[in-house]
Amino acid sequence: MPVTYRRSDLVFTDHTITVPLDHSSPDGATIEVFAREVVAAGRQGDGLPWLLYLEGGPGHSAPRSPAGWLHRATREYRVLLLDQRGTGRSTPANRQTLAGLDDPAAYLRHFRADSIVRDAELLRAHLAGDRPWSLLGQSFGGFCALTYLSLAPEGLREVMIAGGLPPLTGRPEDVYRAAYPRVLAHNERFFARYPGDLAIARQVVDHLHRQEVFLPGGERLTPRRFQTLGITFGTEGRFDTLHHLLEEAFAGEKELSDVFLRRVDAMVSYAEHPLYAVLHEASYCQGEASGWAAHRALGEFPEFDVEQGGPVRFFGEMIFPWFFDEDPALVPLRACAEALAACESWPRLYDLDRLSGNTVPVAAVIYHDDLYVDRDSSLRTAGAVRDLSSWITNEYAHDGLSASGGAVLDRLVTMARR
């Protein structure tokens, strides 16, 4: 029996269904997928159209705290927040659960966008019958939306995408060759805003070179792990987060502060999102191996080398093989990650012919200075999808959907119904 409860002016109902691990083998192993229905109080019995929300990631569960966009959505939709397979209250995939499997990599090959879409189609049949529903995809959720339009467009009434138009072709290393210059540009903007932080960042790196420093979780903080804090540059408070961390970095002159180490521990750990690290590069693979694409492309950008004593530059959304040596949440997944990085049999995620002949209204916001999703690649994808309207803006960062209250969603809804 679904569990229903009320929170402020919203009513929530929990749903769990059983789906095949491998949708091509419906009689084989199964997993559970969880989703939370949200409707405005007093409208539970209304015949509202469904809106499926797909979170960014990969490997992130649906949001737990109602954001402004959700209140805007429930004015006219019955919203379904999906915990994509392996996340949240869906059957979890992490170091504990994967340890009991004979072949974790083979298991996780079924956790990409194509499987997520097929899970969604079973949910749609369970909740909405044969009625198509609307879709809102944030970041990686937008990648899933293009896969949805490729595999099952008949299930969609309209699609709205926030910062998530994926490259439809190309190799994973192309993604990172485009990403590193964007990350360097964000570094320049950060240090232009907070020029004093350049010396502090260098001081931290030099300190980490001189002596071993351990985070509260017990693992060592290395200079290269410190550099991964640049992933925060892509959000609304993109530069302030790291600045406020650095300004309290030292307790005195020779020791990093407990406040700094505690906050860094929370920011660099993948304990909450292990699938993000394991499947991030795989989300770009179509018929070839990633081969640790970000790591291979890094050699073309010596600006990130902190060994020579120059300016410190922080990484962005890159996953490196050494993550699986230094993060306790990922260490047990090292062999699995290596097998996935070497996998060459990833199926295609996008049907170019179907997308070029698409008839489902699609509205997408492209953030001009997006750290995570390349603007030029997004524009090429927008041009390859029929009936897609795009809005390019520098008013918001990558998290504009949540940071804007309901403004971004409101415009996307209007565009989709043009």
Final residue of a domain: which of 323, 342, 361? 342
Final residue of a domain: which of 312, 342, 372? 342
Summarize pLDDT for 136-171 with one digit per residue, the tens: 999 999 999 999 999 999 999 999 999 999 999 999
Instruction: Assess whether 38 and 96 both reside in one domain.
Output: yes
Residue 47 has pLDDT above 80, yes or no: yes
Instruction: Look at residue 237 in the predicted model and tell me its pLDDT.
Output: 72
Instruction: Assess whether 103 and 251 both reside in one domain.
Output: no
Instruction: Assess whether 119 and 206 both reside in one domain.
Output: no
Q: Which domain holds residue 356?
A: 4-168+350-416
Instruction: Assess whether 270 and 364 both reside in one domain.
Output: no
Mean pLDDT calculated for residue range 24-29: 96
Instruction: Assess whether 192 and 76 both reside in one domain.
Output: no
Residue 185 has pLDDT above 90, yes or no: yes
Q: How far apart are CA 281 and CA 321, in angstroms?
A: 11
HEC secondary structure over the chain: CCCEEEECCEEEEEEEEEEECCCCCCCCCEEEEEEEEEEECCCCCCCCCEEEEECCCCCCCCCCCCCHHHHHHCCCCEEEEEECCECCCCCECCHHHHCCCCCHHHHHCCCCHHHHHHHHHHHHHHHCCCCCEEEEEECHHHHHHHHHHHHCHHHEEEEEEECCCCCCCCCHHHHHHHHHHHHHHHHHHHHHHCCCHHHHHHHHHHHHHHCCCECCCCCECCHHHHHHHHHHHHCCCHHHHHHHHHCCCECCCCCECHHHHHHHHHHHCCCCCHHHHHHCHHHHCCCCCCCCHHHHHHCCCHHHCCCCCCCCCCCCCCCCCCHHHHCCCCHHHHHHHHHHHHCCCCCCCCCHHHHHCCCCCEEEEEECCCCCCCHHHHHHHHHHCCCEEEEEECCCCCCHHHHCCCHHHHHHHHHHCC
* Active site positions, annotated: 139, 370, 398
pTM for the model? 0.96
Summarize pLDDT for 188-218 with one digit per residue, the tens: 999 999 999 999 999 999 999 999 999 998 9
Return the CATH number at 59. 3.40.50.1820
Final residue of a domain: which of 314, 342, 370? 342
Instruction: Assess whether 250 and 378 both reside in one domain.
Output: no
Instruction: Assess whether 247 and 357 both reside in one domain.
Output: no
Instruction: Assess whether 149 and 273 both reside in one domain.
Output: no
Instruction: Assess whether 225 and 162 both reside in one domain.
Output: no
Instruction: Assess whether 356 and 310 both reside in one domain.
Output: no
Q: How many domains does the chain have?
A: 2
Instruction: Assess whether 357 and 412 both reside in one domain.
Output: yes
Mean pLDDT calculated for residue range 13-32: 97
Instruction: Assess whether 122 and 45 both reside in one domain.
Output: yes
Instruction: Look at residue 310 in the predicted model and tell me its pLDDT.
Output: 86
Mean pLDDT calculated for residue range 406-412: 96
